């Protein structure tokens, strides 16, 4: 904390590091993109590892895939695709 002239701490107003959009479509799209990035990072890491660490990372990648499927399903519920 910064100090005042007399050496006592000065309270600063709380500042957000970032803000989250209240738009559900945007939140789900960002979640999906983040999971896709994590999936790619896990895949890249897995091929640099030997067993048994490779199996652990591939298990983590599978959990990421499942999370992506859940987000995809939520996107379908929030904004169903237009039928032809």
Give per-residue pLDDT as tens, 21-78. 778 888 899 999 999 999 999 999 999 999 999 999 999 999 999 999 999 999 998 8
**Position 4 in a domain:** no
Residue 34: give the domain boundaries. 24-78
**Position 42 in a domain:** yes
Whole-number Å distance between alpha carbons of 48 and 80: 39
What is the number of domains present in the chain?
1
Whole-number Å distance between alpha carbons of 41 and 25: 25
Q: What is the pTM for the complete model shown?
A: 0.68
**Position 11 in a domain:** no
Q: Can you say whether the dihedral through the CA atoms of 71, 39, 22, 12 is positive or negative?
A: positive
The contacts found for 76-81 with CB under 8 angstroms, 24 or more apart, are 78/24, 78/25, 78/28, 79/25
**Position 58 in a domain:** yes
């Amino acid at each position: 904390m910064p100090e005042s002239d007399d050496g006592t701490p000065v309270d600063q107003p709380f500042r957000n590091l970032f803000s989250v959009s209240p738009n559900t479509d945007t939140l789900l799209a960002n979640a999906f993109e983040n999971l896709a990035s994590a999936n790619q990072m896990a895949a890249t890491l897995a091929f640099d590892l030997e067993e048994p660490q490779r199996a652990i990372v591939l298990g983590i990648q599978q959990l990421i895939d499942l999370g992506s499927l859940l987000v995809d399903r939520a996107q379908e519920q929030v904004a169903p695709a237009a039928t032809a």
